[in-house]
Structure 1
């Protein structure tokens, strides 16, 4: 387990296994790399971040991951694999499941939900991005990207 304190001052526990969970995951994040670049959304309020969001009623974590990536970026993914999860010890703790996925196809961006589209960034470009979302700047995201490279999957 990797523990850190996020920008909001909350303790966060990051684990690279599939549970058991102290808090059931109700949120997802999806790490997608294609041609050496990471898929990121441009969230209208938070800034640049990897795609993710909350489960909808009767939806599995995997379904939520695929839906959120498409809604936020117009990228269809497949070959979804469990990667990690983390618990944010907020006043009401919550858990995010983290998946990796592979690009199946890229449609023109027509959605206008919470994001204004997508961007593909190398790891260097990602860390130099001046408009990163708060959770993208924390130690957990750096640890996850390091683990993807070290123990992760083949893209």
Structure 2
């Protein structure tokens, strides 16, 4: 089943948790992280609180990109990584696909530089009506997050 909806910016989103229909052109990752019974987010300098993620570098696998992005943006060391699904953003100027993963983090390092973020942010519980919370990124405010968390819960990953 592929979900279709619009994101916070009005872009059309296609979301699937079926590994068989994963597109070949995935060049971004988004990693839902859990550390010591809390959600591990990062604070992007422009967008706000969100899960770590980013572009896959040349020669990297999706899994390697997840590990690198989580470490660069939070200092988190991935213990276990599980593929959840993918989503495609059809923007006004460009379209791109992201693979969605779930990661358990077993240790945290302090980094001197967290690149475009201000480092790790731990959250115990989601705020009610997250889409009205200014400190959260627009990436956290569409249906990708709750549907992905549903998959995490159904698969009993935490």
Q: Tell me the TM-score normalized by structure 2.
A: 0.88
* Contact 2:73–2:117 (Cα < 8 Å) also in 1: yes
Partner in structure 1 of residue 155 of structure 2: 152
Count of residue correspondences: 154
* Contact 1:4–1:13 (Cα < 8 Å) also in 2: yes
* Contact 1:23–1:95 (Cα < 8 Å) also in 2: no
Greater shift, 90-99 or 122-131, is seen at 122-131
Q: Which runs of 5+ in 2 are unaligned?
A: none
**Partner of residue 143 from structure 2, selected from 139, 142, 145:** 139
CA distance in 2, matches of 1:92, 1:22: 16
Q: Which runs of 4+ in 1 moved over 4 A?
A: none
- The SS at the match of 2:21 is coil
- Structure 1 segment 96-135 matched on structure 2, within 5 A: 96-125=98-127, 127=130, 129-135=133-139
* RMSD, aligned α-carbons: 1.8
* Contact 1:5–1:12 (Cα < 8 Å) also in 2: yes
Shift of 1:75: 0.6
CA distance in 2, matches of 1:124, 1:87: 24
Cα distance change of structure 1 residues 119 and 125 upon mapping to structure 2, 3 Å threshold: farther
